[in-house]
């Protein structure tokens, strides 16, 4: 066999091995690594983040968690501002595995480094704080989204608050099958 033919056979075998390896991994879920933008909301009693989901990997999760800023004066400032005047804040964290927010995660996310943007980070918002450290205190909702459209009567909301003695309460709409995604939060006192 000539050297050229041998090289061609080796290339074909290497290609076949790569295809077989890809086929073996096809049944495994795709990575959830990505830039996962979030809406920040809250008030005097606490701060929360809601992941801005989509119906495809790696963004196909509705996740809401309680947070605090590692910088205590910044945490207090943001709580005061949101209690006084609720405005849109978005969080742009460094890339991370979204599945690490799942309750059963082997290595759960404890901290995130992020930029805080007044307004929507993809629609002209202004970065006000860069590279802040966010402490994930407690994941309150983690649901994988189903992209299949479904007709369901009514909407379901979950109450998010700081606990039994809370005076501030927020409603988060549970996202259900295939339609437009909107998770309006509102505050009551």
- Residue 11's pLDDT band, with cuts at 50, 70 and 90, is very low
Q: Over 50: is that where the pLDDT of 16 sits?
A: no
> In degrees, to the nearest 5, what angle opens at C-alpha 72 toward C-alphas 71 and 76?
120
Reported as a single tens digit per residue, the pLDDT across 157-175 is 889 888 888 899 999 988 8
| pTM, rounded to two decimals | 0.76
Q: What is the pLDDT of residue 176?
A: 76
Instruction: Please give the pLDDT value at position 145.
Output: 84
Q: Which residue has the higher pLDDT, 149 or 101?
A: 101
**Mean pLDDT confidence for 24-43:** 72
User: Does the structure show a pLDDT above 50 at 13?
Assistant: no
Dump pLDDT digits (tens) for 54-88.
676 777 788 999 999 999 999 999 999 999 998 99
Tens-place pLDDT, residues 114-162: 999 999 998 999 999 999 999 999 999 999 887 776 776 678 888 988 8
């Amino acid at each position: 066999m000539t050297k050229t033919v041998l090289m061609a056979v080796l290339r074909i075998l290497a290609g076949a091995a790569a295809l077989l390896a890809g086929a073996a991994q096809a049944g495994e879920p795709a990575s959830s690594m990505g830039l996962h933008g979030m809406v920040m909301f809250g008030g005097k009693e606490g701060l929360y983040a809601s992941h801005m989901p989509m119906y495809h990997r790696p963004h196909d999760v509705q996740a809401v968690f309680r947070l605090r800023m590692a910088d205590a004066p910044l945490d207090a400032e943001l709580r005061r501002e949101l209690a006084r005047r609720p405005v849109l804040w978005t969080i742009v964290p460094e890339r991370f595995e979204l599945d690490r927010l799942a309750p059963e995660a082997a290595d759960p996310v404890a901290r995130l480094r992020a930029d805080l943007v007044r307004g929507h980070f993809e629609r002209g918002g202004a970065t006000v704080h860069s590279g802040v450290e966010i402490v994930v205190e407690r994941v309150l909702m983690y649901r994988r989204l189903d992209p299949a459209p479904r007709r369901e009567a009514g909407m379901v909301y979950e109450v998010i608050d700081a606990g039994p003695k809370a005076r501030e309460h927020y409603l988060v709409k549970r996202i259900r099958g295939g339609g437009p995604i909107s998770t309006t939060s509102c505050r009551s006192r």
